[in-house]
């Protein structure tokens, strides 16, 4: 009898023809995320079985619980064979270590040649519990403990504990997206939500030294690192934005500063995205949150790129975004008080309903193509290892 982790991937089961592709990626992701452990992964009808040294199970579980593509995680025991007498023998042994007052047993039998039906197995083992434990009773509606028994072709499994997984699709199954990552609350949450749909991330951060500090940049890198907990390594493209921003500030009417600045950010992000084989841009815009996020603003800003822009938190209330940020661990980093390039030049009355023709006219006042090329040529790609930020070569 061996303790192991059993993984259920419910939503992936709806991917019928493509299931092999999704599972291959899930396995690959787990292999990468668990590389410091010695483990084996096997598959059998709707389940993935992950074996590691028993004392490593808690540590491995925290990683598995944060891996997209997993719906439920069961911690159970694999029995070397599946005869009823052997199941009973193991069952009795395991019962010694658990205490409960009410219980039920749920059995699944994928080996249809097994002499008892699922219901008969449950009843039989229920009797074993009642005979071997004092003061316990069956409660099928609200049991304190549900014991799952699975009888498969070669092995049987007894499961006492189930945990919820974070669901979604394995990161990487839907290609790559370029996340516009600022130090705010919204964009890391947007990144997390895109990852949940299977999108691998690269990130772009616009910095404006000396108006923005090294701490502000490190905060963004910490946010990227926090998101890596749920997927893969995230390359962060740090793009110098000072020249563009100062030119905008000097030449463009105040109320259009933010609109034009964001059009520049979109242009650069799209170029970086194409260059790095990303299929979409992802950002943390939320409808109505600020002047640059009215529908009119969004459409005028969006006009500069052909690539689809995914806005996972577009329809969320700020409080809902905050709740999710707390849940995924980015909130405490996001609220660190460092300035962002958007916040330092905010005009008092930014335009709420910008006009495209005016944007085009104003943009003629600055040689932005040249600035954009220079900004991209001077980008630094950073990666994070064990909290050390190093340049990606
Ligand atoms: P907050 O959580 O405070 O709203 P925010 O990051 O969402 O912060 P916004 O001004 O609302 O800030 O910006 C909208 C979106 O634009 C961000 O979610 C982010 O995707 C992108 N963005 C803003 N500033 C930057 C930046 N300096 N670098 C990269 N992306 C940025
Ligand atoms: Mg925002």
Q: What spacing in Å lies between the alpha carbon of 189 and ligand 2's midpoint?
A: 10
Q: Are residues 197 and 51 in the same domain?
A: no
CATH code where residue 20 lies: 3.30.2130.30
- pLDDT tens per residue across span 68-112: 999 999 999 999 998 999 999 999 999 999 999 999 999 999 989
Closest ligand, as measured to the CA of 292: 1
- Looking at the DSSP bridge assignments, the partners of residue 40 are 51
Q: Are residues 156 and 188 in the same domain?
A: no
Among 47-61, 117-131, 190-204, 332-346, whose mean pLDDT is lowest? 332-346
pTM of the model: 0.92
| Contact indicator for 244, 375 with CB cutoff of 8 Å | yes
DSSP 152-210: -SS-EEEEEEEEEEEESB-TTTT-EEEEE--SSSHHHHHHHHHHHBT-EEEEEEEE-TT
Alpha-helical regions (H) of the chain: 19-33, 57-65, 84-95, 118-132, 186-196, 214-228, 242-251, 257-275, 295-302, 318-328, 331-334, 341-344, 356-363, 368-377
CATH code where residue 289 lies: 3.40.50.620
pLDDT > 70? residue 137: yes
- The Cα–Cα gap between 308 and 191 comes to 15
Instruction: Name the residue range of residue 235's domain.
Output: 176-391
Ligand 1: residue whose CA is nearest its atom 30: 180
DSSP 221-258: HHHHHHHHTTSS---EEEEE-HHHHHHHHHHS-GGGHH
| Contact indicator for 197, 40 with CB cutoff of 8 Å | no
Q: Are residues 227 and 360 in the same domain?
A: yes
Would you place residue 174 in the very low, low, confident or very high pLDDT band (cuts 50, 70, 90)?
A: very high
Q: What spacing in Å lies between the alpha carbon of 226 and ligand 2's midpoint?
A: 19
Ligand 1: residue whose CA is nearest its atom 6: 184
Q: Are residues 329 and 365 in the same domain?
A: yes
Query: Residue 327: its pLDDT value, please?
Result: 97
Closest ligand, as measured to the CA of 284: 1
Q: Which ligand 1 atom is nearest residue 208's CA? A: 27
Query: Residue 76: its pLDDT value, please?
Result: 95
Our count of domains for the chain comes to 2
Joined tokens for residue 63 = 């990683």
Would you place residue 288 in the very low, low, confident or very high pLDDT band (cuts 50, 70, 90)?
A: confident
| Contact indicator for 201, 191 with CB cutoff of 8 Å | yes
Pocket of ligand 1 contains residue 330 by CB under 6 Å: no
Pocket of ligand 1 contains residue 186 by CB under 6 Å: yes
Q: What spacing in Å lies between the alpha carbon of 181 and ligand 1's midpoint?
A: 7
Q: What spacing in Å lies between the alpha carbon of 308 and ligand 1's midpoint?
A: 18
Q: Are residues 148 and 29 in the same domain?
A: yes
């Amino acid at each position: 009898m061996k303790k192991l982790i059993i993984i259920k991937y419910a939503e992936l089961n709806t991917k019928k023809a493509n299931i092999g592709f999704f599972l291959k990626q899930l396995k690959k992701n787990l292999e990468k995320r668990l590389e410091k452990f010695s483990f084996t992964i096997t598959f059998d009808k709707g389940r993935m079985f992950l074996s590691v040294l028993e004392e490593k199970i808690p540590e491995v579980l925290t990683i598995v619980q944060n891996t997209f593509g997993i719906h439920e995680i069961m911690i159970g025991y694999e029995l070397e064979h599946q005869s009823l007498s052997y199941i009973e023998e193991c069952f009795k042994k395991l019962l010694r270590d658990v205490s409960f007052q009410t219980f039920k047993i749920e059995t699944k039998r994928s080996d249809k040649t097994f002499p008892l039906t699922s219901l008969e197995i449950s009843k039989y083992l229920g009797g074993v519990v009642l005979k071997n434990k004092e003061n316990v009773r069956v409660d099928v509606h609200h049991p304190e403990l549900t014991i799952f028994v699975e009888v498969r072709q070669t092995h049987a499994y007894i499961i006492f504990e189930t945990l919820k997984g974070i669901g979604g699709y394995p990161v990487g199954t839907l290609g790559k997206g370029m996340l516009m990552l600022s130090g705010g609350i919204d964009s890391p949450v947007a990144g997390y939500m895109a990852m949940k749909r299977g999108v691998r991330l690269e990130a772009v951060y616009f910095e404006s030294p000396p108006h923005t500090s090294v701490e502000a940049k490190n905060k963004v890198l910490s946010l990227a690192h926090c998101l890596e907990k749920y997927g893969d390594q995230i390359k962060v493209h740090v793009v110098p934005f000072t020249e563009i921003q100062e030119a905008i500030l000097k030449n463009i009417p105040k109320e259009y500063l933010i609109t034009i600045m964001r059009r520049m950010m979109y242009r650069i992000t799209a170029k970086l995205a194409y260059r790095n084989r990303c299929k979409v841009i992802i950002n943390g815009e939320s409808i109505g949150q600020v002047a640059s996020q009215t529908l009119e603003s969004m459409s005028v800003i969006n006009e500069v790129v052909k690539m689809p822009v995914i806005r996972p938190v577009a329809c969320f209330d700020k409080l809902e975004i905050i709740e999710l940020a707390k849940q995924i661990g980015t909130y405490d980093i996001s609220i660190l008080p460092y300035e962002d390039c958007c916040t330092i030049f905010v005009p008092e009355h930014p335009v709420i309903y910008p006009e495209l023709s005016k944007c085009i006219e104003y943009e003629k006042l600055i040689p932005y193509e040249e600035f954009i090329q220079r900004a991209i040529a001077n980008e630094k790609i950073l990666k994070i290892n064990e909290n050390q930020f190093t340049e990606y070569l």
